[in-house]
Amino acid sequence: MKNADAPRPADPAVLRLFTYFRSSASYRVRIALNLKHLEYEAVYRHLRYDEHLTTAQLSLNPEGLLPVLQHGEVTLTQSLAIIEYLDELFPEPRLLPAAPAARAHARALAQSIACEIHAPTNLRVTRYLKSALGQDQAALGAWSRHWIEAGFTALEARARAESSGHRFLLGDSVTLADLCLVPQMYNARRQQVDLSPFPTLVAISSHLESLPAFAAAAPEAQPDCDI
CATH of the domain at 140: 1.20.1050.10
CATH of the domain at 59: 3.40.30.10
Whether 4 shows a pLDDT value over 90: the answer reads no
Other CB atoms within a 10 A radius of the CB of residue 22 amount to: 22
Pairing of strands 68-71, 15-19: antiparallel
51 and 110: one domain?
no
122 and 49: one domain?
no
104 and 210: one domain?
yes
110 and 60: one domain?
no
Which residues form the domain of 41? 2-93
CA atoms within 13 A on the CB side of 78: 9
DSSP state of 135: -
Average pLDDT of span 77-91: 98
Q: How long a stretch of residues is the chain?
A: 227
Per-residue pLDDT tens digits for 10-40: 456 789 999 999 999 999 999 999 999 999 9
67 and 42: one domain?
yes
86 and 110: one domain?
no
105 and 154: one domain?
yes
113 and 188: one domain?
yes
Task: Please indicate, yes or no, if residue 193 is contained in any of the structural domains.
Answer: yes
What is the predicted pLDDT for the residue at 7?
A: 47
Percent of the chain with pLDDT over 90: 88
111 and 161: one domain?
yes
Query: Order of strands across the sheet with 2-3?
Result: 2-3, 41-44, 15-19, 68-71, 74-77
Task: Please indicate, yes or no, if residue 224 is contained in any of the structural domains.
Answer: no
72 and 157: one domain?
no
Decide: pTM greater than 0.85: yes
- Would you say 181 and 113 are in contact if contact means Cβ atoms under 8 Å apart? yes
**Could you tell me which of 62, 153, 77, 81 has the C-alpha nearest to residue 116?**
153
Task: Please indicate, yes or no, if residue 219 is contained in any of the structural domains.
Answer: no
Average pLDDT of span 98-109: 96
104 and 207: one domain?
yes
